[in-house]
Amino acid sequence: MPAKKCKALIGITCSRLVGAAWSKLSKGHFINYTLEAYGRAVAACAAAPVLVPLGQFGAGLELILERLDGLILSGGPDVHPRHYRGMPLAGLGDVDDELDRMELELAGLALARDIPILGICRGHQILNVACGGSLFQDIAGQVPGALLHNPGIDKGTTSHTIKIEKGSLLYRIIGKDEIWVNGRHHQAVEKVAPGLKVSAVAPDGIVEALEDPSRRFAIGVQWHPEGTWKNDPYSLRLFEALVEACGA
């Protein structure tokens, strides 16, 4: 059979192991996971995944974005609170300042160029911080009565429901106002950035999705569709929508 025509070139940021996580997993874990999970989800939508390496700034990022049709801001460690004018609180986990700086700059450049963006977990939080919002550093310590958003289960297993705002781009993509998702996070959006709109929340009120209605496609989701796209049509639809936006 002839190969499918490639519809878009999608850049994917990739984290590295830092702090306590370094001693628990192999050095290649995050890169391998990025290729296996995010990369295969993109490829399933007839697009080509390209990893954006750590340490790119300024002209390097500009050149990379000139070649990309879309961007995925992937999951990873905590975002340092200094990037949203906060001080570290109890419960803050491992941070990677170089990754923070690169992804925040990359998100700002992509938004300015109106390149389609899908932020996933940490990427959802980076999108909010890049636009001027803030984060809860640790849900359990700052949000009384919150659900368990970081259960010790596989990313292929859903853990709680979300309510999707009718009329949002996310609703048009998913086609339902309530679905199950696979949350694996302990930080979350606190103050929503100016210009961003909440498009989904968990039963406890935690922001599960944001979007920028002024862009052709800029969505952040707090869950992990890269872990469920093979069996969950709603997860796959997110990646399909990103690729479709690249060709719009």
* Residues with active-site annotation: 121, 224, 226
Residue 94 sits at φ, ψ, to 5 deg, of: -65, 140
**CA dist., res. 169 & res. 152, Å (int):** 31
Q: Which is nearest to 98 in space by CA: 51, 135, 52, 57?
A: 57
Please report how many Cα atoms fall inside a 13 Å half-sphere around the Cα of residue 197, on the Cβ side: 16
Contact 217, 115 (CB under 8 A): no
**CA dist., res. 98 & res. 232, Å (int):** 34
Amino acid at 54: L
Q: Which are the contacts of 75, defined by CB distance < 8 A and separation ≥ 6?
A: 15, 120, 121, 122, 123, 184, 224
